Amino acid sequence: MGIVDEDVARVRESTDMVALVSQYTQLRRVGQRWVGLCPFHAEKSPSFSVNATEGLYHCFGCKASGDAITFVREIEHLDFVDAVEHLAAKASISLRYTERGGGEERKRREHLHEVLERALEWYHERLRSAPDAARARSYLRSRGFDSEEVARYRIGWAPEGWDELTRALRLGRKDLEDTGLGMLNRRNRLQDFFRGRVLFPIHDERGRPIGFGGRRLPDGEGPKYQNSRDNVLYHKSRALYGLDRAKAEVVSENEVIICEGYTDVIGFDRAGIHRAVATCGTALTEDHVRMLSRFTRRILLAYDADEAGQSAAERTYAWEKAHDVGFWVVDLPGGADPDELAAEDPAALAAAVESARPFVEFRVQRALASGDLDNPEGRARAATAALEVIAPHHDDLVVDQYLMSLADSTRIDVDRLRERLVDIRRQPTPEPNEHARSGDPGPRDPGPTDPVIDHAPGDPGTSLPPGSGPEASGAPGVFAPMPHGAEREAIRLAVNRPDLAATAMGPELFEDPTCRAALELLVSTGSLAEAVAQGPPELAEELSRLSVEDVVVEPTDVLGRLATEAARVELAELERAARASEDPLEYSSAISYLKVTIEEVRRHGAGSEIVWELVDWLRSSRA
């Protein structure tokens, strides 16, 4: 199933690249380009460029590049069709699909989002006005919610009855089950899933409803929280409450705060901190980390991050390495929840965020604090506890720093600590993946692909076996980067002047395979946008990159240099052929023509007619 090419092109053309990118990072105009901090990697000085005319972007830091569709795919984690639909919706373009019935799956998902939206509206209205929601309203008031907040977070009330939602919205079994809103009960009757609960709607990153988190009233029955079960749209290992609203500030502040509860996110909001999200009834998973790493590399944990124990900590180190992110811990005074603290002392909450400490440091200090540092035995025990925290860390430079400060605080010689660390790293740990590291005293990295330790029990494993990831497919390095020089300059000119690419240049003028392929691609597709969309990824990246470089040269200069270089290569080849030939005179007229013409171009400058003549000559003799 796909979208009609013409419609894809229309979407691409109708998208304002600068406006699109500006939702994620601030851009400013520099010459013909727009530049800003890259939304795909953390950086302090801008290396991200946008070419507004062509609708392309390129990052000189992390090499992210492409067009509006790639941008949306990458930043929103969408597949191609989703990304095009996302942009089409913004540009009010209605799409046509290539196979009849091919859009069924997609239509189904759209329909389920709509069902959830209707349910959300119904629950919300119920909370605001129904007499049976009075207790819910007074509970929310007691938690500091006013009606403006109830509206902003679209909080709802699921009544106690068995099937009130099902009947009110006339929902069928399939819709109920696929949205998690209801199910068939043992008496073969359709029944609502949420009953007698205050509901916090959960949205995907694009702001579409995917599920609910339901909190019982203080005197209610059942577990305190009940979330949607995994279904077609909702996967708890990926869902992050509040991400749709938080992502703008996550990008602008380059930091995300993870909490454990919906009301914690709201507490942060109340304290003026709008970059908090909550996991929905599960521990942080690698999928969450992967998704967040698109927005920021700095992840703050605003819950007791040490509670989950050593194996969870090692998992955190492994994610830091695999996804190039860093974890910090927000140490909340007295172990308070963020929402409690927000109500009592919002300034203290903000201060705790400000003074977040690196995850390892936090754990080392906690290990030290639990020991008695007043006597030698106590210091030795504390040192061992701290070393166990440090041992699994993958970065030896980091490990060294902690050893040094540990030596200070425990008054134990750093070399002794280092020996001890090696011992600890050698010890087998009672974990299921122990075999993977036996006999290996090096950094203990559980590895991002180990499904046993990557996912909380019961979570669906999403890790692929080694070798099956996208990086395993396709031959690497088909196109090497373009070498700097006249050929690359010429391709850059071609990128900015497609008219010249088609008329004045020919693939015969290029020696470098990447440059030649790039020119052929530009000429055959007729536009830069199409070349980037259709070409192989390496070429598309090179072209996007060239499109955001400023052109400060005259087209004729570039052509002159390109032709001269090609002429020199041709001359050398002809001379070699002449030497090897039994009839060297056969080559003499071509050789003297090139010698004379190269000299002419040099003397008269690239702007002269003779350049065009040389180009024609080269193209016809090499064709």
350 to 369, contacts with Zn ion by CB under 5 A? none
| Closest to Zn ion by CB, 47 or 527 | 47
CB of 24 to Zn ion, least distance (A): 12
Count CB neighbours of 365 within 10 A. 17
Cβ-contact 241, 278 below 8 angstroms: yes
CB of 497 to Zn ion, least distance (A): 27
Cβ-contact 238, 459 below 8 angstroms: no
Using DSSP, state whether 407 is helix, strand or coil. Answer: helix
Closest by CA position to 502, among listed 516, 488, 522: 522
# chain residues binding Zn ion, by CB under 5 A: 7
Spatial separation of the C-alpha atoms in residues 598 and 601, rounded to whole Å: 5
461 to 520, contacts with Zn ion by CB under 5 A? none
Cβ-contact 300, 353 below 8 angstroms: yes
* String of contacts with Zn ion for each residue 94-133, x by CB under 5 A: ----------------------------------------
CB of 349 to Zn ion, least distance (A): 32
| Closest to Zn ion by CB, 64 or 199 | 64
| Closest to Zn ion by CB, 59 or 495 | 59
DSSP, res 235: -
DSSP assignment string, 365-390: HHHHHTS-TTSHHHHHHHHHHHHHHH
CB of 82 to Zn ion, least distance (A): 22
CB of 43 to Zn ion, least distance (A): 7
| Closest to Zn ion by CB, 40 or 479 | 40
| Closest to Zn ion by CB, 274 or 545 | 545
| Closest to Zn ion by CB, 39 or 55 | 39
CB of 34 to Zn ion, least distance (A): 15
| Closest to Zn ion by CB, 65 or 263 | 65
Count CB neighbours of 346 within 10 A. 16
63 to 82, contacts with Zn ion by CB under 5 A? 64
CB of 40 to Zn ion, least distance (A): 4
Closest by CA position to 386, among listed 313, 300, 284: 313
- Residue 460 phi, psi (nearest 5): -70, 130
Rg (Cα) of the chain, in Å, rounded?
A: 31
| Closest to Zn ion by CB, 75 or 515 | 75
| Closest to Zn ion by CB, 40 or 295 | 40
CB of 60 to Zn ion, least distance (A): 8
Strands (E) in 231-377, as ranges, are 240-241, 256-259, 276-279, 298-301, 326-329, 357-358
Please, where are the H alpha helices in 449-554?
A: 451-454, 486-496, 498-503, 513-525, 528-534, 537-547
* String of contacts with Zn ion for each residue 25-64, x by CB under 5 A: -------------x-xx-----------------x-xx-x
CB of 594 to Zn ion, least distance (A): 44
* String of contacts with Zn ion for each residue 563-582, x by CB under 5 A: --------------------
| Closest to Zn ion by CB, 21 or 59 | 59
Q: What element of type H or E holds 201?
A: strand 197-203
* String of contacts with Zn ion for each residue 277-306, x by CB under 5 A: ------------------------------
Closest by CA position to 199, among listed 227, 223, 221, 220: 227
Cβ-contact 99, 81 below 8 angstroms: no
Cβ-contact 200, 137 below 8 angstroms: no
Handedness of CA 110, 112, 115, 116 (dihedral sign): negative
CB of 41 to Zn ion, least distance (A): 4
| Closest to Zn ion by CB, 35 or 112 | 35
375 to 414, contacts with Zn ion by CB under 5 A? none
CB of 29 to Zn ion, least distance (A): 19
Q: With b meaning 16 or more CB within 10 Å and e meaning fewer, what string describes 98-121?
A: eeeeebeebeeeeebbebbebbbe
| Closest to Zn ion by CB, 38 or 341 | 38
CB of 472 to Zn ion, least distance (A): 24
Q: What angle do CA 367, 368, 369 make, to 5 degrees?
A: 95
- Residue 33 phi, psi (nearest 5): -110, 170
> Which residues contribute to the site for Zn ion (CB under 5 A)?
38, 40-41, 59, 61-62, 64
